[in-house]
Structure 1
Amino acid sequence: MSEDYLSDPNIGLRLIPEQASRHAEGVDMLYFALLGFSALLVTVLVGLVVTFGFRYRAGKTFRRRVTASHVGHRVEVGFALSLGVVFMALFAWAGKLYLNVYANTPAQATLNVVAKQWMWKVQHPDGTREINTLHVPANQSVRLRITSQDVIHSFSVPALRLKRDAVPGLYTSVTFVADKPGEYRLFCAEYCGTDHSRMRGKMVVMAPSDYQNWLTRNGTGTTPAAAGKALFRSYGCSGCHMGESSVRAPSLDGVYGRSVALANGGIIIADEAYLRDSIMRPQKHIVAGYQPVMPSFSGQISESDVLQIIAYLQSLKPGDWRTEAP
């Protein structure tokens, strides 16, 4: 990340960051509604404290209440019910907004983001890589698949009203549409060690044509699936899963999205998390009819390589391996 970017006064910290995504306005509306309602409650409570403090101050004479008033109970119950209705309305509003922002919806492009002390490593669908900078096309849905190589981090772009944790061993995702071209600050929003404050970068939102030109200039020509295929062979996976080895292993062509029967009688969907666990923690889900003999690759393979192998497995259709040599 250039020093020019860090010193640019036009993109410095602001009390309220500019809105650069389609859901940013909705997030701000909810924020100001919560702020306004909280201010109203504080005003009412402070007003009551001041009023009662003045009315019942020392030396002030007042008529003692002898019997309980039913009117007082009605006021208390009505006030409590009103607060409950308002809180439930705010909860429903926030819940709907959260689901709209963080639901796993289809996207036009999926980018891999791997956090590591103290940097952000990004890979685009065509294989283009970058560090601490994320280029995305404007007005197109983009999905980020996020994980961590070491400790918990948090991917945060305030202008997009976007924050998603990067957790070791897990995949989190978020889909967004950036609708305002420009450069926006990227932060780690979770304390992650000594140089946490240096784990920052920028998101560059570009017109779709400019984004394609940028990919052409910076692309490597190797897609994650192609790189994953080479890694699948180099780590020896093909010897058991698609070769003539004496070790009997499940076939993985077309496995992504399929229901897999487990040795414990359960059934699991072969999603991204399942594929990762099968590589890093193979004893976690034993496939029915097979022995738990696969070694763990934990500590031997990087998260970036795991994501590429998963991309390769996702690209396979049933029967693809019949035309490939081991």
Structure 2
Amino acid sequence: MSLPIAATDVAVMWDHLYWFLVWLSVFFFVLVVGTMIYFVIKYRHQKKQKPVFITGNHTLEVIWSIVPLLLVLIVFVWGYVVYRKMIHAPPNSLEVRVIGKQWLWQFQYEDGKTTVNELFVPVNQPVKLIMSSEDVIHSFFVPDFRVKQDVVPGMYTSIWFEPTVPGRHQIFCAEYCGTSHSQMLADLYVLSEGDWAQWKAGKKLNLKTSRISMSNVPSPTLAEQGKKLMLQKGCVACHSDDGSPRPGPTYKNLFNSKVELANGQVVIADENYLRESIETPQAKLVKGFGPLMPTFRGIVSEEEINAIIAYIKSLK
């Protein structure tokens, strides 16, 4: 029995829990089967021997009730602790936007770079992936990191990891998504500090299988791309980026703030709220504003939505 290499701290924690469950199962399997075989032999039917009538044993009944309960509680608490660590990304995480589409993975970085089927991340730094699908449900799976998360059309899901082993790691789609599902693969490169600095500067890395070609011309950041898009799409006619009043709510300090809706409900302006407001603006009208904004569903692409949200997040 063997597992893929554990290339993150969380992967090591999951492996410890996994092997605990495996060996616990082996122990009780041997105990139960061994005891059963012993009793079958020792208390087999024999002539001229009258069987003893047993009414029960309270001590044994307490033991085989309490011990399993304690073991289940240990596994539950252990799993809960690891799960909490797995789902809460540190605030200093590097954010990368991931778009799943038949049958490839596209990655957008905060500095404006975009790669296809290759994800580059630094070693020993937390990385948060904010993911969406352009067509059907996919599932982002990195066995070496022990992370898997569904990637769903029309909403954002996220995972995070902190890679500890430099090198190449395989990305799979773990949700059947059509005829070429098995070919929806990508490479995840964990780079040393020096290689990461070179890659960010646009220099070509010495990676034998790398298909990326970067020039030394700096590209606009994802937020800068979003600002340009909002000018092109006419968003600035109704929304300000400095808090000044306009027909629509301002983007200034909007991200992760509490927003009061026309129906009295209060929501948090996270990525999914912003996405919904772009695609279905009438779904959650902000208090004090009318239903003026048309839907942009099908007008802006996944890449453009990610850029616009990155710009709104930068307006703090």
Q: CA deviation at 1:183?
A: 0.8
- The answer (yes or no) to whether the contact 2:131–2:151 under 8 Å persists in 1 is yes
CA shift for structure 1 position 56: 5.6
CA contact (8 A) 2:141 2:147 kept: yes
Distance 1:176 1:50 in 2: 47
Q: What is the alpha-carbon distance in structure 2 between the residues aligned to residue 29 and residue 60 of structure 1?
A: 51
- Give the counterpart of 2:21 among 16, 34, 43: 34
Say if 1:56 and 1:303 are closer, same or farther in 2 by CA, change over 3 A: farther
In the alignment, which residue of structure 2 is the partner of 1:130? Answer: 115
Higher helix share: 1
Percent same amino acid at aligned positions? Answer: 38
Determine if the alignment matches structure 1 residue 102 to structure 2 residue 87. Answer: yes
Aligned twin of 1:20: 7
- Mapped to 2, the partners of 1:52 and 1:100 lie a distance apart of 45
Q: For residue 42 of structure 1, what is the amino acid of its counterpart?
A: F
- Deviation sequence 1:254-294 (CA, Å, 0-9, x none): 21122111111111121111111111122221111222232
Residues of 1 paired with 2:194 and 2:121: CA distance? Answer: 11
Post-superposition shift, 1:44?
2.5
Q: Distance in 1 between matches of 2:180 and 2:31?
A: 44
- 8 Å CA contact 1:242–1:251 kept in 2: the answer is yes
- Structure 2 counterpart of 1:82, from 50, 67, 71: 67
Which runs of 5 or more residues in structure 1 are unaligned?
1-13, 318-326
The residue aligned with 2:281 is: 282
Residue 113 of structure 2 aligns to which amino acid in structure 1?
A: T
The 1:150–1:60 alpha-carbon spacing in structure 2 relative to 1, beyond 3 Å, is farther
What's the CA shift for 1:59? 6.4
Classify 1:178/1:65 alpha carbon distance in 2 versus 1 (closer, same or farther; 3 Å). same
Deviation by residue 1:33-80 (Cα, 9 ceiling, x = unmatched) = 1111112222233234434444565667764454623x2x43123212
| Cα pair 1:263 1:289 within 8 Å, conserved | yes
Q: Secondary structure at the match of 1:275?
A: helix
Give the 5 Å matches for 1:66-215: 66=53, 68-69=55-56, 71=57, 73-215=58-200
Query: Do 2:142 and 2:172's aligned partners in 1 also have CA atoms closer than 8 Å?
Result: yes
Cα distance in 2 between the residues matched to 1:164 and 1:64:
58
Contact 1:126 1:223 in 2 (8 A): yes
Q: Is the 8 A contact 2:89 2:126 kept in 1?
A: no
Deviation digits for residues 226-274 of structure 1, max 9, x if unmatched?
111111122222222249xxx9322222211221111111111211111
CA gap of 1:59–1:215, structure 2 versus 1, over 3 A, is: same
- Cα distance in 2 for partners of 1:179, 1:83 equals 36
Q: 1:253 and 1:33, CA in 2 relative to 1: closer, same or farther beyond 3 A?
A: same
Q: Which residue of 2 aligns with 1:4?
A: none
Q: Secondary structure at the match of 1:100?
A: helix
The alignment of Structure 1 onto Structure 2 pairs a total of residues equal to 299
Cross-structure match for 1:324: none
Aligned residue for 1:309, secondary structure, equals helix
Q: What is the CA RMSD across the aligned residues, in angstroms? A: 2.2
Unaligned runs of 5+ in 2: 203-213
Q: Distance in 2 between matches of 1:47 and 1:177?
A: 44
Counterpart residue number, 1:312: 311
Query: Deviation per CA, 1:173-219, whole angstroms, max 9, x where unpaired?
Result: 22221122111111112222221100111111111221121122226
Match of 2:222 among 221, 224, 227: 224
Retained in 2: the 8 A contact 1:104–1:173? no
Q: Who is 2:33 aligned against?
A: 46
Whole-angstrom CA distance in 2 between matches of 1:40 and 1:296: 60
- Partner of 2:264 in structure 1? 265
Q: Which has the larger displacement, 96-105 or 38-47?
A: 38-47
Please say which of residues 55-64 and 73-82 is displaced more in the overlay. Answer: 55-64
Deviation of 1:24 after TM superposition, in Å, equals 2.3
1:239 is aligned to: 237
2:137–2:151 CA contact under 8 A, matched in 1: yes
Task: Describe the superposition over 1:71-108 as per-residue Cα deviations: whole angstroms up to 9, x where unpaired.
Answer: 2x431232121111111111111111111122132134
CA gap of 1:226–1:62, structure 2 versus 1, over 3 A, is farther
